[in-house]
Amino acid sequence: MKNAQALQEPLPNIHALSKDEQKKLMRKKFTATSRFQNEFGKDAVELDCGEYAQKLRQEVIRLLTAKGVPVPDGDLENLHKTLSPEMKEYNFDDGVNKVTTFLYDTDDQFIDTYHDMVKLCLQKHFPYPFYFQATTTIRIHCPGGKHSDHYPRYHTDINYGHPPEEINLWLPLTRPLAPQYHGFRRTDVENTRHILHEFNYDFDKLIERVVQDKPFNLDIHKVAPEVTTQFGKMLAFDSRCLHTGEPLDKHTRVSMDIRIIPVADFNALDLEYQGTGRRKMRYVPGQAYYPLSSDRVYP
């Protein structure tokens, strides 16, 4: 009935809510128990990604090489040694360096590998139809990049417009190097909730604080351990967990973010979610999500 109604009239957009309504909604969403927590009994879990870490790593090396950024000996972990300072420099506002922007556009071969992974790997771990990000986010973080003090900057993707029902998949394409591992930290839902309570679930205030107050970020480190996921696995986590990258010490880290949302949860949404970034992406199939759900990737 709900779906039939949804087809007839568009859902209200989250940004049409008043500030107080948004805060109330987020308080409710962050207090609920998620499907992820029910299924896994925790807020994060490491899952096998079989041969796909290696396949996607090779794809990234191939794409970089094709775009004029060779990776000597396929040694992604040492890519920073051959990159120019300009390629490593971060845009201070969005924390993206130039070499990462080279992977904004991929190609059919990369997309086929990604879709194979959705079909043959993700579907095994999440055995129900789900929508998945049409374009994965690939990140390259190098030591020594100018403006790397953009990081740490804690956030949840929900702060930037994503639906709280999403599941985050974080897949390292490089090997962790102790003691820093990947330069990536995550806290759990309960600690996130405590922090958001302090801000009365006002995301604008949280964002302002993490941007301006470095010690505030460093304080969250105490409840956000280093992610140590081995190459060949991926970290799946409840999207309500605060997380951040950190400046890298000694090695280059390449990782992929994939967000998925169970079709049942998507259909139960009573709001349309939309990004706050430059592109104002709507979180619907055909925009942020691939038009077809996971069970229909191959027509």
Measure the CA–CA gap between 173 and 235, rounded to whole angstroms: 12
Q: Are 275 and 162 in contact (CB under 8 A)?
A: yes
Q: How far is CA 62 from CA 34, 101, 103, in A?
A: 38, 15, 11
Measure the CA–CA gap between 164 and 33, rounded to whole angstroms: 11
Measure the CA–CA gap between 216 and 244, rounded to whole angstroms: 13
> Would you tell me how many other CB atoms lie within 10 Å of the CB of residue 247?
18
Tell me how far, at minimum, the Cβ of 139 lies from Fe ion, in Å.
10
Strands (E) located in 142-267: 167-172, 184-186, 233-238, 243-245, 253-262
Tell me how far, at minimum, the Cβ of 176 lies from Fe ion, in Å.
18
Q: 157 vs 166, which CB is nearer to Fe ion?
A: 157
Tell me how far, at minimum, the Cβ of 157 lies from Fe ion, in Å.
5
Q: 98 vs 139, which CB is nearer to Fe ion?
A: 139
Residue, CB closest to Fe ion: 157
Residues lying near Fe ion in the complex (CB under 5 A) are found at: 157
Measure the CA–CA gap between 244 and 238, rounded to whole angstroms: 14
Residue type, 234: M
Tell me how far, at minimum, the Cβ of 86 lies from Fe ion, in Å.
25
Q: Are 280 and 15 in contact (CB under 8 A)?
A: no
Beta bridge partner(s), residue 272: 13
Tell me how far, at minimum, the Cβ of 245 lies from Fe ion, in Å.
9
Tell me how far, at minimum, the Cβ of 227 lies from Fe ion, in Å.
12
Q: 11 vs 96, which CB is nearer to Fe ion?
A: 96
Counted residue by residue, the chain has a size of 299
Q: 157 vs 188, which CB is nearer to Fe ion?
A: 157
